[in-house]
Amino acid sequence: MVKITINDKLLEVPEGTTVLEAARKVGIAIPTLCYYEAVKPYGGCRLCLVEITQGGRTQLTTSCTYPVSEGLSVITESPDITEARRLMIDLLLSRCPGCLNCRRWRDNWESKNQVFRKARKIASSAESAFPCATNCREQRRSAWSEGERKRK
């Protein structure tokens, strides 16, 4: 077992646990878009960013890929974290402006000053590189199917 601190809460979790898993075990919410338990996490959406401190060094990192270690200190909410998450959402939306999940996150954070206002269309072949691509394709498929049913 490894002792860590998340938002000033002392926890003891099994070695090999990620920061995201540890936080969820004690009811601490960390936003995610690409995380799915059945798939190996890769931190593609970067929404699960947290601030970690260990050995006097502090950095932002993805909680879904970062393994816990003895003495690790984690902060899940701060102005720097919120700003980094907003930037990630704006970047995702600039590449895939129709993604309803990304829009929901952005609206939740009231990101009025988007960094990248000019959304551009992307080819479906390039879409697969983005963590929300599957969601976007499924939403379009559902909308298309619904439209087909209404025409019949």
What does the DSSP assignment read for 23-66?
HHHTT-----SS--TTS-----S-TTEEEEEETTEEEEEETTTP
The pLDDT, as a whole number, for residue 120 is 32
Do 102 and 141 have their domain in common? yes
Percent of the chain clearing pLDDT 70 (strictly above): 68
Do 6 and 72 have their domain in common? yes
The pLDDT, as a whole number, for residue 122 is 35
Do 72 and 84 have their domain in common? no
The pLDDT, as a whole number, for residue 83 is 86
Please state the separation of Cα 67 from the chain's center in Å.
16
Supply the range of the domain harboring residue 34: 2-77
Measuring CA to CA, which residue among 79, 92, 84 is closest to residue 63?
84
pLDDT in tens, 56-94: 899 999 999 999 999 999 999 998 998 888 888 888 878
pLDDT at 113 > cutoff 70: no
Q: Whole-number mean pLDDT of the chain? A: 76
What is the number of domains present in the chain?
2
Domain boundary, last residue among 17, 45, 77: 77
Do 19 and 35 have their domain in common? yes
pLDDT at 128 > cutoff 50: no
Domain boundary, last residue among 22, 53, 77: 77
* SS3 label, residue 75: strand
Q: How many CA atoms lie within 13 A of 96 on its CB side?
A: 26
Do 123 and 69 have their domain in common? no
Q: Which long-range contacts (CB under 8 A, 24 or more apart) does 67-72 make?
A: 67/15, 67/16, 67/17, 67/18, 67/19, 68/2, 68/4, 68/13, 68/15, 68/17, 68/18, 68/19, 68/22, 69/2, 69/4, 70/2, 70/3, 70/4, 71/3, 71/4, 72/2, 72/4, 72/5, 72/19
Do 12 and 23 have their domain in common? yes
pTM: 0.68
